[in-house]
Structure 1
Amino acid sequence: MTTIDTVVIGAGHAGLAVSKLLTDACREHVVLDRGRIGNRWRTERWDSLHLLTPSWMTRLPGWGYRGPDPDGYLSVGSFIGYLEAYAASFDAPVVDGATVHEVSAATGEPAARRYRVVTSRGTWHTRHVVIATGPHGTPYVPAGLAGLDTARVDLVTSNNYRNPSRLGSGGVLVVGASASGVQIADELNRAGREVTLAVGTHTRMPRRHRGLDIFWWLENTGRLARTIDEMDDPVAARAETSLQLVGRDDRVRATEDLDLGRLQEHGVRLVGRLDAVEGCTARFRSDLAANVAAADATLAELLESFDRFVERVGLGGQLWDGPRPRPVAIGPARTRVDLRAEGIGTVLLAAGYRQHHPWLRLPITDADGTVRQRRGVTPAEGVYVVGQRFQHRRDSGQIDGARHDARAVVDHLLAASGTPTPATAGAGARRREPAA
């Protein structure tokens, strides 16, 4: 058993951001991970995946992208290398292969040993715990899939998908049309698979607007910095779907939009939200046209707001004004598909994730597994969380946004224990402005 001031759980970008700030404050701590640095990126992502955010936006406390292509999109392998270099830059105290079995109150112990963290590599008694396991807990499997005949049709969740060759033969029904779903559907289609895509509510987004990456607009117009306190419906805000985007290393295709219209043009069949599967018969709702129209309307409003921003700040003469994305044309969609008759051998589920902390033995989670918190501070004294979706800012769940929540959490931790807050470390790469 080891006694230590702070235990950080998770050695991804959020956990390392916290570790860097604790290191700067000379606070004793350890970072535990069930695998290695960036473990989910190593084990739960498909082979061709690239970050959705441009490399200039890959910023952590005291660290930023320094490579030759700031406007490109890092591959999974490159991003893992980025995290490893970051950890090495301040000698992060990472203990890998430490699967957490239990986090509980250490009753009867002094404040310095308030919590007990039991892992496969030993037990720590600690005053503070920072949960930095990220927003991707366990894949969400809709109840309607319980009736699928898995003896005849494979069920694969997106975290277990690697590439088309690793799937069984036949066509693929992809469930979910947010970032993962549209990217996987596109890859399968390009590999020659027959693809059907079940579409629910989604957020359509162009890769670029008026010559600049969409994330330049989201950052510079202040949308990414909006806080949960500014939202009319915080629950709905935290349930916002991920953007229909793709990052590519091919400079010719890097600016291509990936939306339902393009997928449809390439032969992907669109259907509504999956309702239920009985044996090998899948039923879908008749909501496809309505969901597509709603996403197109929201996109049009967003781009109009960007254009008003251009005029307001006087950039109109610097940014060309190109054509807007066309509305997606939707015809009649099928509401019932016989998977075997259609030659569909795999249902690939990309319907998002739900929080999952089976090791957390503290009364700080809601019925859905979400950790209750405000600005990363939970109801349990000395227990914090970083890296959750819309934790405080809209970008909290993104790589770039975690640095803000990490700073707020570490500042609170230091203040609560009577330690002066050190000067804020550099945020990383500077903000990129449009070329004149």
Structure 2
Amino acid sequence: MRTTDAIVIGAGQAGLAMSHCLAARGIDHLVLERGRVAERWRSERWDSLRLLTPNWMSRLPGWSYRGDDHDGFMTMSEVVAYLEGYAARAPVVTGVAVHALHRAPAGYRLETSAGTFAAPAVVIATGQCDVPHIPAMAAELPRAIHQVTPSGYRNPFLLPDGGVLVVGASASGVQIAEEIHWSGRPVTLAVGRHTRLPRRWRGRDILDWMDRAGVLTEPAEQVRDLSAARTQPSLQLVGRPHHASLDLGTLRAIGVRIAGRLAGIAGGRALLRDDLAETTAGAQRTLDRLLDRIGALADAEGAPDEAPPPTLAPFARTPSAIDLAAEGIRTVVWATGFRRDYAWLRVPVLDASGEIRHAGGVTPAPGLFVIGLRFLRRRNSNFLDGVGADAEALAGEVLAHLATKGRAAA
């Protein structure tokens, strides 16, 4: 059995930031990674994807973007290289899958593919985007329909010929719908809840304004409904060198068919709700509130005047059902978000929905922590740019816990 003072599970951005902050406090630790450093960025992203945050926001403790395109957006290979550089001095053990995490007399015992590890403190850093969520209705699709999630999608040319139904209109859904459309395939986008944003506004990237106005660092304890905030859809943005916006209006203009939320599958037909007006109105209200909030800062800084993005014109009557075979739809892309899979976590810290119970990353089990989840401590807790502040705070919590165990830092 291999022992250390702390073990971090996962070598993505959250795990590596945690490792840096533990090392800064002299805490002996290991980072266990089931694949390679930044494995999800390597193997679970599509070919053309870029970060949604500009490069200057790629800030981790002791590490930041070092290129010369500060306002650009890193490609996936650039993200991997960025995180590999960060991991160079971290005690990462790759190719180690954690099969079970148990309580033990001195803390925790981890059963892994490389044997048993033990430590008085463990930090779960497996992230927000763990396992793609595929609705149960997917089982009702005809077998001839090819199904894929954003984690498995690579590019349009690996899909079967024919039309495509993309389910979900957050960041992944709108980007994939646009890319598939430009490949020449007819695309239908089934729209649910989404967060509409312009890429730029009043001379700056929208995330720049949100950062400067304190929106992204808003503390969890100041949010009126934290549970709702943690389940908000991802921002409807795209990272492109020419800083163009992407929303339902953009997609409609190029010929993507926009439809309501997918309600079910029956007899080879996709059943759709007549709720497009409702969901777009909700997204517009969120956008209006945000622009009102950051508009005062833009005025104070003398930013150039700019009208807000126009309200989307009403969509024509949307279909209530689509006969998939008759319309030649041979692929469904489930851009329906992610869930967390903690089947290996044998410590009773999960709530009724299977999520880890925690207060700012501190679970009810002494010595067990979690990092990298949405709104862990701040609105940007699961961003590349936001996880560092959480890591700094949690490293202090780990140090305090180890002191109670008589484990002094080096």
Query: Which TM-score bucket, shorter chain as reference?
Result: over 0.9
1:398 and 2:383 correspond: yes
1:276 and 2:268 correspond: no
Q: Secondary structure at the match of 1:196?
A: strand
What one-letter code is carried by the residue in structure 2 that aligns with 1:32?
L
Deviations 1:390-413, CA, capped at 9 Å, x for gaps: 111000111111111111111011
Q: Identity percentage over the alignment?
A: 49
Q: Secondary structure at the match of 2:251?
A: helix
How many residues align? The count is 406
Corresponding residue to 2:296 among 308, 311, 324? 308
How far has the Cα of 1:421 moved from its partner? Answer: 9.2
What one-letter code is carried by the residue in structure 1 that aligns with 2:291?
L
Q: Secondary structure at the match of 1:105?
A: strand
Q: Is the contact between residue 174 and residue 197 of structure 1 (CA under 8 Å) also seen in structure 2? A: yes
How far has the Cα of 1:420 moved from its partner? Answer: 8.7
Q: What is aligned with 1:152?
A: 144
Q: What is aligned with 1:161?
A: 153
In 2, distance between residues paired with 1:64 and 1:125? Answer: 32
Unpaired segments of 5 or more residues in structure 2? none
Q: Is the contact between residue 121 and residue 402 of structure 2 (CA under 8 Å) also seen in structure 1? A: no
Q: What is aligned with 1:428?
A: none
Deviations 1:151-196, CA, capped at 9 Å, x for gaps: 2211111110000011111110000000000000010011111000
Q: What is aligned with 2:73?
A: 73
Q: Is the contact between residue 415 and residue 421 of structure 1 (CA under 8 Å) also seen in structure 2? A: no
Deviations 1:51-95, CA, capped at 9 Å, x for gaps: 00000000100111111001000011001000011111xx11111
1:327 and 2:320 correspond: no
Q: Secondary structure at the match of 1:394?
A: coil
1:28-427 aligned within 5 A: 28-88=28-88, 91-106=89-104, 109=105, 111=106, 114-149=107-142, 151-248=143-240, 251=241, 254-311=242-299, 314-316=300-302, 319-329=303-313, 330-418=315-403
- Normalised by the length of structure 1, the TM-score is 0.91
Counterparts in 2 of 1:368 and 1:137: CA distance versus 1, 3 Å = farther
In 1, distance between residues paired with 2:206 and 2:115? Answer: 45
Q: Is the contact between residue 22 and residue 29 of structure 2 (CA under 8 Å) also seen in structure 1? A: yes
Q: Secondary structure at the match of 1:20?
A: helix
In 2, distance between residues paired with 1:399 and 1:163? Answer: 24
In 1, distance between residues paired with 2:179 and 2:310? Answer: 23
What one-letter code is carried by the residue in structure 2 that aligns with 1:21?
C
Cα RMSD over matched residues?
1.4
What one-letter code is carried by the residue in structure 2 that aligns with 1:167?
L
Q: Secondary structure at the match of 2:7?
A: strand
Q: What is aligned with 2:18?
A: 18
Q: Secondary structure at the match of 1:398?
A: coil
Counterparts in 2 of 1:395 and 1:420: CA distance versus 1, 3 Å = farther
In 1, distance between residues paired with 2:245 and 2:354? Answer: 35
Q: What is aligned with 1:429?
A: none
In 2, distance between residues paired with 1:239 and 1:20? Answer: 29
Q: Is the contact between residue 52 and residue 239 of structure 2 (CA under 8 Å) also seen in structure 1? A: yes
Q: Is the contact between residue 376 and residue 408 of structure 1 (CA under 8 Å) also seen in structure 2? A: no
Q: Secondary structure at the match of 1:158?
A: coil
In 1, distance between residues paired with 2:235 and 2:334? Answer: 17
How far has the Cα of 1:309 moved from its partner? Answer: 2.1
Q: Is the contact between residue 198 and residue 270 of structure 1 (CA under 8 Å) also seen in structure 2? A: yes
In 1, distance between residues paired with 2:8 and 2:277? Answer: 45
Q: Is the contact between residue 355 and residue 368 of structure 1 (CA under 8 Å) also seen in structure 2? A: no
How far has the Cα of 1:367 moved from its partner? Answer: 2.5
How far has the Cα of 1:22 moved from its partner? Answer: 1.2
How far has the Cα of 1:305 moved from its partner? Answer: 2.2
Q: Is the contact between residue 6 and residue 29 of structure 2 (CA under 8 Å) also seen in structure 1? A: yes
In 1, distance between residues paired with 2:196 and 2:111? Answer: 43
Counterparts in 2 of 1:271 and 1:87: CA distance versus 1, 3 Å = same
What one-letter code is carried by the residue in structure 2 that aligns with 1:231?
V
Q: Secondary structure at the match of 2:4?
A: strand
Counterparts in 2 of 1:327 and 1:421: CA distance versus 1, 3 Å = farther
Q: Secondary structure at the match of 1:307?
A: helix
1:5 and 2:5 correspond: yes
Q: Secondary structure at the match of 2:151?
A: helix
What one-letter code is carried by the residue in structure 2 that aligns with 1:337?
I
In 2, distance between residues paired with 1:227 and 1:300? Answer: 21
What one-letter code is carried by the residue in structure 2 that aligns with 1:351?
T
What one-letter code is carried by the residue in structure 2 that aligns with 1:396?
S
